Amino acid sequence: MPEPSHAVELEFRDVSKRYPGSEESVIEHLSFDVPAGEICVLVGPSGCGKTTAMRMVNRMIDITDGDILLGGESVKAKSAAELRRSIGYAIQQIGLFPHLTIADNIATVPKLLGWDKARTRDRVDELLELVSLDPAETRDRYPAQLSGGMRQRVGVARALAADPPLMLMDEPFGAIDPINRERLQNEFLRLQAEIRKTIVFVTHDIDEAIKMGDKVAVLKKGGVLAQYAAPAELLMAPADQFVEDFVGADRALKRLALQRVRDIDLWKAAVVQVGDPVDEARAKIADSDLPIPLLVDSERRPIGWLSEGAMRAERIRRDLRSPAEPLVELDDILRDALSDLLASETRYAPVIDSRGAVTGILSLEVISHVLHDHSLSTSVASNYDLMPAP
Amino acid sequence: MTAAVLAQLQIQDPNEGGASCVAENGFCPAWIADNFDRYLGPLGEHVFLTVVSVVIGFTIAMALALLAHRRRWLTGPIITTTGIMYAIPSVAAFFLLQPITGLGNQTAIVALVSYTLLIIFRNITDGLRNVPAEIVDAAKGQGLTDGQILRRVELPLAVPEIMAGLRIAFSTTVGLATLAVFAGGGGLGSEILTDRFFQSNVVVAGGLAVLLAAGFDLILLAVQKAITPWQRGVPA
């Protein structure tokens, strides 16, 4: 029953917006492409026209000059109502219909499109599951009976109802508390990895933009495009002072949020076990990047950092200077790993793989090197690309 | 004072006491029981006057409200006009209309309708206007046409306020319809006027009018509850 998911390319072609009687443009010659299946975040300070730009896509606001193309076809080709039925629409205030049940809310567009009852019902249940809500429990309730986070999910489900190739989302998580917002963002990224829609996402929050976007369009006052780039590029090479200021003084740290421990070159550790010959251990130390050997068990799982005294005899004894804390995992985001190091007041930590075995050492020096190195290159993995390295 | 107390005591005797109670102009259950039938006709007329007037008034007010919903500038003039109609003293209206519409129920209905317009119109327009902007935006953004937004979103959400307007309109009209007798109409008012110095008569006719207003209110409240299931157990 579920139809093949599809997405379209979105193209802003020299789009301008001026209101009658006003000299100043709200949007000024805006041009950019969003490839099919990618999230484009429109971000900028208030009054930069980001919401206006988004609302011109489904013609909630008329285009003064230029054109917007969906899969090569002008948005002006169809009637506004017909166009809007083919574009998912989710807004910060959600705007669920309080007098309709959750099922009827989600079925809004399918009903307009004349789907039969069975198909609509199946689709509603499928969507509720997709956004992690229990269909049997949620279907017949009214919006006022749900929590804010649940309502937000229903809003997303409603926008997805007729499987539109394009979704518009205006600060969809803006009214949610920080903890739930983080959760909804992650959930949405997982969902997007599955449905692969083309998405225009509006936010004023640069952190959210960097997290959510495959591409980020930074707009400044008057609807001028300041920079259109992938998040990493935005952080590494801001196009001008405005973008540099907007991404913030901590852009180096933000960049760490885009990388995982597995993406970088780690220090080599001197890994020893109890009973190893001390000579052998000394050779390992000479060959490693850190002069302190790491004691591991038979599965190469870290036990702790060895003390000087442990190597006084012929064989390694179990004599620790400190436990192996913190432990960093290969899939950890660099920012979180750095935070762990700082919190433990240590300069280095063992990195373990999914089985718990040591694969290297992460140190402050490594991170600092990464920051320096990557300011010159642009080879940074996409932030939500969770595919393991080949 | 003594007479009144005596009258109360005499009520105890159903046969002779009845006549004496009437002579004393007291409150006479026996007389009421004997004569209750004569109020049923006027009560029916009263219901008829009220329902017909409110239904016509609702139809006109709804048409005006929908018009003003599309053309906002009409709201002011409509409120002014219906406001003037509402401000005309009712008894005066019943007399003023007679040269045009003659004597009878039609005159009463014209006057009663004109009193409902302002109340119902205001409540419908308020109801439509109070639909949160983001809900209309979400509806529009999903591809509902203006007509679909009105029918499927705005009017259903305005139901509580529209019903509130109807309840006021019914109560007001039940009250005003007691004056329809001055336009030559029927209803409980004619009974009151027939013997307006006889306490028992006035109490029964007036009491029925009060009960009628309360009855309409309860029915409308029940209807409102039935058609707005989404408001149940939800803080306003």
A261-374: CATH class: alpha beta
Residue-wise pLDDT for A87-130, tens only, equals 999 998 999 999 999 999 999 999 999 999 999 999 999 999 98
Task: Assess A82–B contact: CB distance below 8 Å, yes or no.
Answer: yes
Task: Assess A140–B contact: CB distance below 8 Å, yes or no.
Answer: no
Whether residues B134 and A94 touch (CB distance < 8 A) is answered with yes
Token readout for A203 is 């936010």
Residues in chain B: 236
Please report the pLDDT score of residue A183 as a whole number: 85
Nearest CA in chain B to A81: B143
Nearest CA in chain B to A78: B143
Whether residues A94 and B138 touch (CB distance < 8 A) is answered with yes
**Confidence tier at B18 by pLDDT (50, 70, 90):** low
Residue-wise pLDDT for A79-90, tens only, equals 999 999 999 999
Closest alpha carbon to A235 in A199, A205, A210, A264:
A210
Residue B198 inside a domain? The answer is: yes
Q: Return d(Cα A352, Cα A331) in angstroms, integer.
A: 9
CATH code 3.40.50.300 for A10-256: yes
pLDDT at A388 over 80: no
Are residues A357 and A381 in contact, defined by beta-carbon separation less than 8 angstroms?
A: no
B233 contacts in A (CB within 8 Å)? 145
Which residue among B132, B138, B142 places its CB closest to the CB of A85? B142
A83 contacts in B (CB within 8 Å)? 143
Task: Assess A146–B contact: CB distance below 8 Å, yes or no.
Answer: no
Please report the pLDDT score of residue B127 as a whole number: 96
pLDDT at A377 over 50: no
Q: What is the ipTM of this complex?
A: 0.79
Question: Could you tell me which residues come within 8 angstroms of residue A197 by beta carbon, excluding any fewer than 6 positions away?
Answer: A5, A7, A37, A88, A160, A164, A165, A166, A167
Whether residues B230 and A82 touch (CB distance < 8 A) is answered with no
Q: Return d(Cα A366, Cα A265) in angstroms, integer.
A: 8
Whether residues A95 and B135 touch (CB distance < 8 A) is answered with yes
Please report the pLDDT score of residue A5 as a whole number: 55
Q: Report the number of distinct structural domains present in chain B.
A: 1
User: What does the pLDDT average to over A182-202?
Assistant: 91
Distance to chain B for A144, nearest Cα, Å: 7
Residue-wise pLDDT for A268-278, tens only, equals 989 999 888 88
User: What does the pLDDT average to over A131-147?
Assistant: 93
pLDDT at B112 over 80: yes
Distance to chain B for A142, nearest Cα, Å: 6
H helices present in A132-177, as ranges? 135-138, 148-160
Task: Assess B157–A contact: CB distance below 8 Å, yes or no.
Answer: yes
Nearest CA in chain B to A80: B143
Residues of chain A within CATH 3.40.50.300 domain(s) are 10-256
Q: With pLDDT > 70 as the criterion, what percentage of chain A qualifies?
A: 94
CATH number for the domain harbouring residue B189: 1.10.3720.10
Whether residues A60 and B137 touch (CB distance < 8 A) is answered with yes
Q: Return d(Cα A331, Cα A117) in angstroms, integer.
A: 45
A109 contacts in B (CB within 8 Å)? 142-143
Q: How many CB pairs under 8 A join A and B?
A: 72
For residue A326, whether the previous peptide bond is cis, meaning omega lies within 30 degrees of 0, is yes
Residues of chain A within CATH 3.10.580.10 domain(s) are 261-374
- Domain range for B156 is 39-229
B162 contacts in A (CB within 8 Å)? none
* Chain B (96-155) residues lying within 8 Å, Cβ to Cβ, of chain A: 132, 134-135, 137-145, 148, 152-153
User: What does the pLDDT average to over A328-349?
Assistant: 90
